[in-house]
Each structure stands twice: as C-alpha cells, then as structure tokens.
Structure 1
Amino acid sequence: MAVQFMYGVLVPVTTPKPKLPPEADNGVWSLYVGDLDPQVTEADLIDKFRLIGPIASVRLCCDSFAGDSLCYAYVNFFTSLDSSTALCFLNHKELKGKPIRIMWSQRYPLTRKTGIANLFVKNLHPSITSAQLQSMFSKFGKILSCKVAAENGKTKGFGFVQYDSEQSSMTARNALHGTLVEGKKIYVSKFAKKSARTVAHGDAMMASLEGSNQTEAAQKYWESEFCMEF
C-alpha cells in the first residue's frame, strides 16, 4: 500500500469510496446539505446534484414566518448508490462560492446531538479547510460530520470531527494529537459538552482545556451548528 505525507502526517494513499447509507426512508435516500449561502435556491441544488443521478426531491428549509432560507436543505435520491456518490464527491464543494457540508440525514440524531465520538481539533492553520480536515481524519474510520469553524469567510482556528464509533475517534486522536500541520502543532481532544466536562472523566487533555476562550467559543459554535433538528 502506498503512503504519502499530507499536512505533515504519514497517511495511506487511497481512492475515495462512497460511504454506505443508512436504511432508506420511504424508498428514498436522504442527504442533509448544510452551510448553504443564503441566496441558494432549490433550483441551484437541483442543478448541483442532478449531475450525480435522478433526484427524488429537494427541500430547502426556510423560516416559517419570514420565508428566509435557514441555509440547509434535504436532497433525496432514488438509489443508495447515487446518494453515496453525492456525499463522497460533492461534500465540501462550493455552491455560490461557499463550501457546502453534506451528511446522511438522521431520523434519530441522538449520536450527533450528544457529541458521542466527537473530536475537538484546535490550533489549526488559517489555510486548513473542512475538506482538508476531513481528508486528514478519514483514514481512521467513518466520519459522520466534519467542519472547520468559520465566520464571514475567516476560520476560527478550530473544528470538529465526529465518527460513527468511539473507537475510531480515539484512534484518530492518538495518531494525530500533537502532529505538525502546516507548521502548527494541532491539539486533538475528545469533545464533551460543558456540563459533562470534568476531571473525573479521566481525560487529562479535556481538563487542560477548561477556561480556554477557544474552547468556550467551540462549545457555543457546536451547540448552534450541530444540535439543531435537521
């Protein structure tokens, strides 16, 4: 198996493979598409995703009173292959100049909401994008969601990577914590909600994050970005 250095980390060279979808809902496979530019319309989404295959439906979520876009949508395909391919090849690609974030729509999003198998990554170089972060961490397991926090097009220096299993997240943390990425030593820790973040958990790295302004900003960002009902 060939290997290469990517962002200062030795990783295997692999060809992207479509991720397996969850069970179909009413005969369609649904994707959540977030981080949309406010000007993105359902027609824009159709134009973007129909290149993958026939689309069953598209729903752009809007405010029920003002009618403004909530900047996320659902794209439904007729086949698991098309939905998997769209997730694999369109995730983090730009639409109206802004990278979109795609993941499987979860009918029962308990794992995402509780932060299980979720990693907090800080001290990121300003050039690191969500796509690059996902590329770095995808070698260690199936990723449910990956994002570098940003505001007004400028990164905040931290991000989140959530796996489908605790084992994958711990393997990634042990492998990447303290490695140099674009000249900066990244900090990778198990992420926990503030209410659950105690020294008693036995996580020395988590304890060392207490009082960190960046950690508090990360907590607020995670709550606003990942705890909504998709």
Structure 2
Amino acid sequence: MMECESKLNPLADEFVPSLRRCLSAAAPEFFPSSHRLRPIASQPQRSRAQTGSSHAERNAEKESKIKRTVYVGDIDPRITEEELMREFSNCGVVKGSCICGDTKSGLRYGFVEFENEDCAKAAMRLNCTRIGLYPVRVLPSHRTIAPRNRLPSRSGDDREKIVRTVYCSYIDTTLSEKDLKEFFEIQFGEVSCIRLLGDQKSSTRYGFIEFAKEEFAVAAIKCTGMLLGNYRVKVVSSKAAIRPSQHSN
C-alpha cells in the first residue's frame, strides 16, 4: 500500500482541486492551455551550407585572380611598377602590378594582374623580351598580388619635397652627380640636391633630383627620352623625397 501511495502525485486535481481551480481562475497565466514545453523556434541557418558557399566563392575568386596574373622574373632594378604596367598594357587591361626584392640585390621579380585570363595568356608571349637592360621571364603565377602595406603618413615637409623631386633612370654611368646638376640647372632651374644610385659597373644608373621649385620638376619630366651621355633618360614624378642623410654636398 505504501508503495502505491509513493507513486501518487500530491498535486493532482483529486488532491487539491479547489486550490488549482482558484489559482487558475485568479491567474490563468500560471496555467496556460498548453502546459507542455514548446520547441525552440528554429534559427535561420547561417548554416554550414551558406558558410561553405561563401568560402567556395572566395576560393573561386582567388583562383580567378591567379589565372589572370603572371609572374615576371629577372626585372631590371631600375624598372618601376608603373613602367612594368606600361610594358604589359599592350597585352590587355592591367589591373595592378607588384615588384618584389631589394633594388640593391640585383635583378628583381614581380607580378602583373590583368582584367581577364586571355590577357594573361597573351602576356606569356613577352617571355624573354627585353625590358630595360635585361630579358624578363614571364610565367603563370601561382599566387595573387599580395595587398601592400600602407606607407607611413608623410609630413607636410616630405610632401612638399616630393612634388619638387623627379626620378631619373637610364643615366650613363660616365656622368657624375655634378654633371647631372649642371645639366638640369641649365635646362630647368636650380637643383637643391641629387642622389645617384645603382652599380657603377653597369652601363646605366638611376637617381633622384630635387629642384628648388615645383615648376622646375614639372618641366624636367617633359625631357624624358632626351639623350644624356650615351643613353636616353627616363624622367618621371618621384614617390619619395631625398632624405637629409642622402643629400650630396
């Protein structure tokens, strides 16, 4: 008998009918019509399917970029990224370029990304073509162009110097900084300082020329292609100022 009683529910209606009815009438919210637990509403699944889909899309985009990118080896250290883009622009629309390696360590390498895969295939025909002083190697790329780190913010003085500075390449190694200073001052105006770089064992070098005024630098850019010594120089806007420690006397 005790075992049967232990299985009885002391809160059943037959034991406390009046109490349950009173509470139900006074506060029906305590006894909702459906007293069972409701299943938790299913959340919209940003599920594995969607996550996998976005991951697949990113992979597809990366593969597409790789297919429309070429690797360029044995790049003349005097060649800039802008010049590299111009050389490959005959193959199609170039979306970007990246040159890697230290300018002081000899030949460099880089990547050129095109608008589509057909342009990249056309660029393969430039393999062994001379760009600058050296023939380049053009091969399929196995990677995309890595995004570049932002340059540190420049001071107002640096920006002001940059607009007065030009980058000059294909400078005859027989010419000294003094020779360049005299030439550019006679042709365009006062030169503040010159920094000549590159290996003197090579036939040409490159460097930076800072003028006293911006208009002198603008005029100097127009002389690109002019014969200076035994070579025609290239003169373009500079992206950097000559540091004080680099100023020549």
Length-normalised TM-score, structure 2: 0.31
Q: Which has the higher contact order (CA 8 A, sep 6+)?
A: 1
The structure carrying a bigger helix percent of its residues is 2
The structure carrying a bigger strand percent of its residues is 1
Higher-Rg structure is 2
